[in-house]
Structure 1
């Protein structure tokens, strides 16, 4: 039988709604109206001859047929996105030199994959990838020491810099596996288990402290660390708890089996991962690299984290 003429945008909308359970969230991600997303979903259901979502639930839940369709269509979309990104990158990277700065959180996940791919695509070029701190990015870019920078929360960056959003990385509670204490109890009683802080010299430490203050939470200032790996090691030993992000959790996988993540028992908050460059940097190359980074982040971070913790599906999301 002939294949139905299904648009890629409809498939993209279906996958996004399946992931978030929300037409409104998908519309914002795709920069479409809510009615346009709803039309895409309805049209896809009509073409496939099945109902994909149970619309009586909030968030939307996939039907049995929806689960089957997602399993197959997502694989096809993954290959289409990968082919599109790889074709764009191979055609754009004719430059003789490319210097990229990336925050350390990606050193064990995204950075190695990016390095391997670009080295293959740029065999005659000079390529440099280095670890940087987010607050260093604007200065490094303006001085010409890097061409692009992958950072967290670029909201305070120089307005002359161009930015492309990549990932929404939510803050979560990290507790010892098997701890018989509710997350909210850790906020109410500081004696239950010590709180492990990030150094406030880092943006992540500043964000967490600011959010605790907004929620009128005061915790003893006893243990302070620069590294999420140190924090994860202590949590895994059962000697403390912390507020981290899924990105940090995925970076320290050697400790993951003895650490459990939970939603924060107060107002949710997150940070954004962004690609920055100077305003005069080639825009198509910047956009193509952003697409490649999203693809790698989805494979190395978002997919594994959401598989381990399905409740992260609507929170740990790629940004367009």
Structure 2
């Protein structure tokens, strides 16, 4: 059998450079000095006897030989990581590392309980938890920077990711508690209060704007917020109304006495929250996260919200569970 003299570290550094187009960015992600990254790349090129990058150009670019090498090495590294993951996580209790990213919607109660449950079932695991917007979570997954992400389903399919549907979260309207104007008047702009929006860089903000365009409803863009809590606070103080979801409303408990939650007066629409992963994620780890999240969302969000607002019962619910024990 012919043995390779190529170092795994050289290959990992090579792929980082191709991803970022910069030795500086690759060194920052790898936690190495630029000189060390440059040394690894030079060693790889010397061993192969070809230049993988055109070093005279900025940003650095692959040569024709480098493009061929990158195609094959990307697939090889994917298989190596998949084999490593399957061997080192033969069962949940043996899991050693798990990187999760969740949207902030679950930060107050669900995420801490999810962490406690996973710690109990994976006592030897090193966890890393991130809170990010949905579009950032999907990018982290595509770059293999995390194992599992919980995010709002985007408009377009993600062919490189595995989606496990989790929650149907309908859009609703929130108004200041003392607002006497019907929701229909606010929607068609005959009411006095402005529409407060989620930032349109977020998937939830884009989905709301798309639906308003479908309904041919146009409001001036005056206020956009990244933070759900800030938006809720503005509504509670009487500065406007907003379109949100039961999950986001549930998180803002301290404002509940100052806010009215009512059905969206136009055609019903919803966002869908899913668990996203790659094929590198072992199925039993995905199953454990999925089942725990489903139980927590039911007990902390769906049950209390549908008891308080019975009209939500047919709209706010878990999606059919596509993961079952074999």
Decide: shared fold, TM above 0.5. yes
Q: Is it true that 1:228 corresponds to 2:228 in the alignment? A: yes
Cα offset, 1:299, TM superposition = 0.9
Find the aligned partners of 2:186 and 2:93 in 1 and give their Cα distance. Answer: 50
Q: What corresponds to 1:149 in structure 2?
A: 149
Cα offset, 1:245, TM superposition = 0.6
After superposition, the C-alpha distances for 1:3-56 in whole angstroms (9 at most, x for unaligned) are xxxxxxxxxxxxxxxxxxxxxxxxxxxxxxxxxxxxxxxxxxxxxxxxxxxxxx
Q: What corresponds to 1:88 in structure 2?
A: none
After superposition, the C-alpha distances for 1:197-228 in whole angstroms (9 at most, x for unaligned) are 11111111111111101001011221221111
More moved, 135-144 vs 161-170: 135-144
Q: What corresponds to 2:316 in structure 1?
A: 316
More moved, 155-164 vs 109-118: 155-164
Query: What is the RMSD of the two structures over their aligned residues, measured on CA atoms?
Result: 1.9
Find the aligned partners of 2:124 and 2:93 in 1 and give their Cα distance. Answer: 11
Find the aligned partners of 1:156 and 1:132 in 2 and give their Cα distance. Answer: 19
- 5+ residue gaps, structure 1, are 1-90
Q: What corresponds to 2:214 in structure 1?
A: 214
After superposition, the C-alpha distances for 1:70-117 in whole angstroms (9 at most, x for unaligned) are xxxxxxxxxxxxxxxxxxxxx634211111110111111211110111
Q: 1:277 to 1:191 in 2, by over 3 A?
A: same
After superposition, the C-alpha distances for 1:143-190 in whole angstroms (9 at most, x for unaligned) are 221100000114535312111111000100001113211110112235
The runs of 4+ residues in structure 1 deviating greater than 6 Å are none
- 5+ residue gaps, structure 2, are 1-90, 322-326
How many matched pairs?
A: 232
Q: Give the conservation status (yes or no) of the 8 Å contact 2:138–2:151.
A: no
Cα offset, 1:191, TM superposition = 4.7
Find the aligned partners of 1:251 and 1:198 in 2 and give their Cα distance. Answer: 15
Q: What corresponds to 1:105 in structure 2?
A: 105
After superposition, the C-alpha distances for 1:236-285 in whole angstroms (9 at most, x for unaligned) are 11221000011110111111111111111111110111001112321232
Residue aligned with 2:94, SS: coil
Residue aligned with 1:275, SS: strand
Q: 1:155 to 1:224 in 2, by over 3 A?
A: closer
Residue aligned with 1:178, SS: coil
Q: Is it true that 1:173 corresponds to 2:173 in the alignment? A: yes
Q: Give the conservation status (yes or no) of the 8 Å contact 1:173–1:244.
A: yes
Task: Determine which structure has more spread, i.e. the larger CA radius of gyration.
Answer: 2
Report the TM-score, using the length of structure 2 for normalisation.
0.68
1:125-144 equivalent positions in 2, closer than 5 A: 125-144=125-144
Residue aligned with 1:299, SS: helix
Find the aligned partners of 1:207 and 1:284 in 2 and give their Cα distance. Answer: 32
Q: 1:189 to 1:156 in 2, by over 3 A?
A: closer
Find the aligned partners of 1:154 and 1:218 in 2 and give their Cα distance. Answer: 22
Find the aligned partners of 1:129 and 1:190 in 2 and give their Cα distance. Answer: 45
Q: Give the conservation status (yes or no) of the 8 Å contact 1:138–1:157.
A: no
Report the TM-score, using the length of structure 1 for normalisation.
0.69
Find the aligned partners of 1:268 and 1:205 in 2 and give their Cα distance. Answer: 16
Residue aligned with 2:156, SS: coil
Q: 1:155 to 1:195 in 2, by over 3 A?
A: closer
Q: What corresponds to 1:43 in structure 2?
A: none
Q: What corresponds to 1:254 in structure 2?
A: 254
Find the aligned partners of 1:109 and 1:156 in 2 and give their Cα distance. Answer: 30
